[in-house]
Amino acid sequence: MPHTITARWLFPVSGPPLPNGTITIQNGTILAVDPHGIRAADEDLGNVAILPGLVNAHIHLDLSGARGLVPPTSCEHFTDWLRNVIAYRGQCTDIEADIRAGIRECQKYGTTLVGDIAVNGQSWASLANAPMRAVVFWEAIGISQPRADHAHEAFRDWLSTIVPTANCRPGVSPHAPYSVRASLFERLAKFALPMATHLAETRAEIDLIERRTGPFVGFLQQLGIYDPDALANNIASIVAALPGAIFAHGNYLPDAISLAPQQSFSYCPRTHAAFGHSPYPLRRYLDRGFHIAFGTDSLASNPDLDVLAEARFAKQCHPDVSGAEILRMATLAGAESLGYANVCGSLEAGKSADLVIVPLPNSDEEPHELLLGERAIPGERRTIFAGTA
Ligand SMILES: [Zn+2]
């Protein structure tokens, strides 16, 4: 039996918000989304917004035990933070439990799709059984030829052991330009799977890749893995090597480089702020046609895994970006980046009824302001994962 729900505001995201609009659902699939007055509602949820489930395009669930333990440094001392993350990882005892806790936290804030960067693909089993969709990006690190070969083989072995489902799909993530041999980017791209990599996150990374100078040289030398001939020679070559990739951050993308239509950035606003980076050029990137979705990054740099909190923070930081653009970055843009836009990311007939119900303040602002503005209500939300594909 179809079931029709209404609420104060319905946000299809693929179209303008609908006051007292209705969404009609049958067997977990959206049958119709209508303005008020077309269908009688079976259920009125009251002073709330109904949104498509939120999308977190960049997260590291395996660092979900790190909250408060590896505080971000200033961006000038980013390599110190990396050292601390390495030390933290070395003393983790129950990463599976951390991953499960991270998934629960995503779920309670309304996320129904994640792009998870996973050392050894370790989140696979938990995400394949979780009430959400995922791309699990197996994280590859390796500068020397033997380490790059080992990463390549280990990824191929992992791929042969997993069984992709409609809701849990494999991808691969060469970690970053400073930690991955240039040729490994190209070898991993040949798998033709979803890809993600950190890119242009710090000025130090640009100094290393474009000029072989800056703090990364000493950092890699201390780790005993510095090989100037093995790294990529410029950021543009990495962008060119990964045609459909999600690039995490892109805080300092050189001006001469553009993203192709199939490429995207995942922007992590509160992590960006925690490191004190230069203001994120969000308006400029959007005006250049770049595809951008939100991520939370990990609890090693972010206070929580709430994508709507990222969106609200971004709205404060970028008053020249509209509420509709911000909401799209938290939903449909992420689904597009992760290859799930045909099943979720917006409220449209035929898509899965993955929803989040967001309480609204008792005021009369325009709908995006109610959802994202100063009076927006923080906290846990009702999340509905329909699970159909
Ligand atoms: Zn990251």
In sign, the C-alpha dihedral spanning 46, 50, 53, 57 is negative
Residue 250 CA, ligand 1 centroid: distance in Å: 11
Q: How much is the pLDDT for 389?
A: 54
Q: How much is the pLDDT for 1?
A: 92
For residue 20, which phi and psi values (nearest 5 degrees)? 50, 30
- Segment 84-115, tens digit of pLDDT: 999 999 999 999 999 999 999 999 999 999 99
Residue 58 CA, ligand 1 centroid: distance in Å: 6
Residue 60 CA, ligand 1 centroid: distance in Å: 6
Residues of the chain under the 50 pLDDT cut: none
Classified as helix, coil or strand, 236 is helix
Residue 25 CA, ligand 1 centroid: distance in Å: 36
Residue 297 CA, ligand 1 centroid: distance in Å: 5
Residue 298 CA, ligand 1 centroid: distance in Å: 7
Q: How much is the pLDDT for 344?
A: 98
Q: Please tell me what DSSP assigns to residue 180.
A: B
Residue 6 CA, ligand 1 centroid: distance in Å: 37
Residue 113 CA, ligand 1 centroid: distance in Å: 16
Nearest alpha carbon to residue 356 among 347, 364, 348: 347
Residue 26 CA, ligand 1 centroid: distance in Å: 37
- Structure token digits, residue 360: 């609204």
Classified as helix, coil or strand, 279 is coil
**3-51+347-384 has CATH 3.30.420.40 classification:** no
Residues of the chain with CATH 3.20.20.140: 54-337
pTM across the whole model: 0.98
CB 347 within 8 A of CB 52: yes
Classified as helix, coil or strand, 352 is strand
Residue 267 CA, ligand 1 centroid: distance in Å: 10
* Distance from C-alpha of 102 to C-alpha of 100, rounded to nearest angstrom: 5
Q: How much is the pLDDT for 387?
A: 85
Residue 356 CA, ligand 1 centroid: distance in Å: 25
* Distance from C-alpha of 83 to C-alpha of 97, rounded to nearest angstrom: 23
Residue 248 CA, ligand 1 centroid: distance in Å: 6
CB 49 within 8 A of CB 106: no
Q: Where are the beta strands (DSSP E) in the chain?
A: 3-6, 9-10, 18-19, 22-26, 29-34, 43-44, 48-52, 54-59, 111-119, 133-140, 168-174, 196-199, 246-249, 264-267, 291-294, 355-359, 382-384
Q: How much is the pLDDT for 233?
A: 97
How far does CA 82 lie from the centroid of its chain?
20
Residue 361 CA, ligand 1 centroid: distance in Å: 33
Residue 381 CA, ligand 1 centroid: distance in Å: 25
Residue 161 CA, ligand 1 centroid: distance in Å: 25
How far does CA 70 lie from the centroid of its chain?
20
Residues of the chain with CATH 2.30.40.10: 3-51+347-384
Between strands 264-267 and 18-19, the pairing is: unpaired
- Segment 257-294, tens digit of pLDDT: 999 999 999 999 999 999 999 999 999 999 999 999 99
Q: How much is the pLDDT for 83?
A: 96
Residue 268 CA, ligand 1 centroid: distance in Å: 9
Residue 55's contacts (CB-CB under 8 Å, 6 or more residues apart) are 111, 112, 113, 114, 293, 294, 307, 330, 331, 332, 333, 334, 335, 338, 340, 344, 345
Residue 365 CA, ligand 1 centroid: distance in Å: 35
- Structure token digits, residue 4: 């029709």
Residue 195 CA, ligand 1 centroid: distance in Å: 13
Task: Assign domain 54-337 to its CATH superfamily.
Answer: Metal-dependent hydrolases (3.20.20.140)
Q: Please tell me what DSSP assigns to residue 326.
A: H
Residue 318's contacts (CB-CB under 8 Å, 6 or more residues apart) are 280, 282, 283, 326
Residue 185 CA, ligand 1 centroid: distance in Å: 17
